[in-house]
Amino acid sequence: MTAPKKLYIKTYGCQMNVYDSERMAEALGGQGYVETKTPDDADMILLNTCHIREKAAEKVYSELGRFKGLKAARPDLKIGVAGCVAQAEGQEIMRRQPLVDLVVGPQSYHRLPEMEAKTRAGEKALDTDFPEEDKFEKLRARPKAKRGPTAFLTVQEGCDKFCAFCVVPYTRGAEVSRPVDRLLTEARDLVERGVREITLLGQNVNAYHGVGPDGADWSLARLIWALNDVDGLERIRFTTSHPNDMAEDLIEAHADCPKLMPYLHLPVQSGSDRILKRMNRSHTAEQYLRLIERLRAARPDLHMSGDFIVGFPEETEADFRDTMALVEAVQYGSAFSFKYSTRPGTPAAERAQVSEAEKDDRLQRLQALLTRQQRALQDAMVGREVSVLFEKSGRMPGQMVGKSDYLHAVHVDSDAIAPGDLARVRIVSSGPNSLAGELSR
């Protein structure tokens, strides 16, 4: 029997890249590949890249440089670059790093089997098209191996918003929504394999408008209600959303849908109307705050998460204070904050830049405020009873770790629970990054 070929995938960036890496592994599984945890014994190395942060491409080139020794020792080793950096710099990657055998964009990875065969024939393979065919439909079916209790499911890709700082519309393309039937089939398949919680993914997930089995245009809320009826699926989440697409039926779903969790990631980026306009966000700080009020009226215990960029071109101290005021008003349970970094080809890259010293100062002040809020909301969980989906063993013997309804990490000392169990837990203490609990009696 021929030994299986080994595939090593390193994934950068967001949850959508994690999902894409899983599907790439499945696509190459049909060519006889099995995944390995190390590049040292791999027959193929794939870097699934992200282009959001500054110097993303240079980090990829640096990573590729580390594989020169492996390639020299094993000339048959194939090395590929996938994802958004591949989409943005495909030809340049091939030119700068001759050791790269294939480059594939995020909309073309269903073509990996053909590209891999081409490299085995001694040719280079480059595909950064935006093909008309549905890549998800072209991919082979997911293998029936057991899965962990949580999984991602991409329902929408691309973005039509064209924020001034963002490369996603250029690397992922226009907004496209997957048909409802295919998503429900994939969700049921995941549940059959042990998944109890699904996070719906999209660059702009609440812009989802997929064709339903009735031929009608389904919203994200209608899709969530259909998933709510899937036997064995216990929890539903979605990310990442845009404030302008938070429709009324989705707000109502947060109030009424039993399986939709009380956690929402809703990026705002800035609290300054002047900067929001320069970012091309198409909403004001006041509109965002009123939206939060409507969401919390629907679901009072909703925990909010957000994204923030400090030091956007032309941002003043007054603009930054507006952001701090918005954060104080919302009281976030968690958030992601970054210094602005220029992305070549985006409008903001050509504008007057804020100094690095000012960016550093503002980021430290913002993160200190967000950390205080996160810790206060976490501490307020002590004494409450929550539902926890357990995912894995903890660091200590007999300890299990899972996620609460609100996405807090919770650990419990008990021999009576296993991965995949969903249990009621009383929170007894709060640590820096997690909660400790005990099973409710």
* Contact partners, residue 130, CB within 8 Å, separation at least 6: 105, 107, 173
Round to whole Å and give the CA distance between 393 and 399: 6
* Contact partners, residue 380, CB within 8 Å, separation at least 6: none
Higher pLDDT, 133 or 246: 246
Is residue 392 predicted with pLDDT exceeding 70? yes
- For helices 285-298 and 248-256, give the axis angle rounded to 10 degrees: 30
Is residue 297 predicted with pLDDT exceeding 80? yes
pLDDT tier, 137 (very low <50, low <70, confident <90, very high otherwise)? low
Q: How high does pLDDT run on average in the chain? A: 91
Is 84 annotated in a binding site? The answer is yes
Higher pLDDT, 145 or 306: 306
The ranges assigned to domains in the chain are 5-127, 144-260, 262-380, 385-439
Given a contact cutoff of 8 angstroms between Cβ atoms, the answer to whether 271 and 322 are in contact is yes
* Contact partners, residue 164, CB within 8 Å, separation at least 6: 278, 279, 280, 346, 347, 348
Q: Which two tokens stand for residue 417?
A: 């629970």
Round to whole Å and give the CA distance between 282 and 275: 11
Given a contact cutoff of 8 angstroms between Cβ atoms, the answer to whether 238 and 199 are in contact is yes
DSSP 397-432: TTEEEEEETT--EEEEE-SS--TT-EEEEEEEEE-S
Given a contact cutoff of 8 angstroms between Cβ atoms, the answer to whether 435 and 375 are in contact is no
Q: Which amino acid is at 314?
A: E
What's the pLDDT score for residue 62?
87
Round to whole Å and give the CA distance between 320 and 339: 12
What's the pLDDT score for residue 47?
93
Is residue 55 predicted with pLDDT exceeding 80? no
Domain 385-439: which topology?
OB fold (Dihydrolipoamide Acetyltransferase, E2P) (2.40.50)
Question: Of 90-94, 194-198, 212-216, which range is least confident?
Answer: 90-94
What's the pLDDT score for residue 206?
96
Phi, psi of 174 (to 5 degrees): -70, 160
Q: How many CB atoms lie within 10 A of CB 132?
A: 5
Round to whole Å and give the CA distance between 171 and 413: 45
Is residue 6 predicted with pLDDT exceeding 90? yes
193 — alpha (psi -120 to 50), left (phi > 0) or beta?
alpha
Is residue 132 predicted with pLDDT exceeding 60? no
User: Which of 281, 175, 188 is CA-nearest to residue 232?
Assistant: 188
261 — alpha (psi -120 to 50), left (phi > 0) or beta?
beta
Is 14 annotated in a binding site? The answer is yes
Question: Of 11-15, 208-212, 279-283, 300-304, which range is least confident?
Answer: 11-15
Summarize pLDDT for 236-292 with one digit per residue, the tens: 999 999 999 999 999 999 999 999 999 999 999 999 999 999 999 999 999 999 999
Given a contact cutoff of 8 angstroms between Cβ atoms, the answer to whether 125 and 103 are in contact is yes
Given a contact cutoff of 8 angstroms between Cβ atoms, the answer to whether 338 and 280 are in contact is no
Percent of the chain clearing pLDDT 90 (strictly above) = 70
Is residue 19 predicted with pLDDT exceeding 70? yes
The CATH number of the structural domain formed by 5-127 is 3.40.50.12160
H/E stretch holding 26 reads helix 15-29
What's the pLDDT score for residue 109?
82
Is 166 annotated in a binding site? The answer is yes
Summarize pLDDT for 312-336 with one digit per residue, the tens: 999 999 999 999 999 999 999 999 9
pLDDT tier, 119 (very low <50, low <70, confident <90, very high otherwise)? very high
What's the pLDDT score for residue 130?
66
Q: How many CB atoms lie within 10 A of CB 441?
A: 5
Phi, psi of 200 (to 5 degrees): -80, 130
Tell me the three state secondary structure of residue 242.
Answer: coil
pLDDT tier, 139 (very low <50, low <70, confident <90, very high otherwise)? low
Q: Which residue is listed with tokens 């929001």? A: 276
Summarize pLDDT for 204-222 with one digit per residue, the tens: 999 999 999 999 999 999 9
The CATH number of the structural domain formed by 262-380 is 3.30.750.200
Higher pLDDT, 52 or 36: 36
Higher pLDDT, 24 or 300: 300
Is residue 382 predicted with pLDDT exceeding 80? yes
Domains 144-260 and 262-380 share a fold: yes
Round to whole Å and give the CA distance between 234 and 5: 36
Is residue 188 predicted with pLDDT exceeding 90? yes
Summarize pLDDT for 156-184 with one digit per residue, the tens: 988 999 999 988 887 778 899 999 999 99
Is 257 annotated in a binding site? The answer is no
What's the pLDDT score for residue 345?
79
Higher pLDDT, 162 or 132: 162
The CATH number of the structural domain formed by 144-260 is 3.30.750.210
Is 159 annotated in a binding site? The answer is yes
Higher pLDDT, 52 or 104: 104
pLDDT tier, 350 (very low <50, low <70, confident <90, very high otherwise)? confident
Question: Of 9-13, 178-182, 223-227, which range is least confident?
Answer: 9-13
Tell me the three state secondary structure of residue 229.
Answer: coil
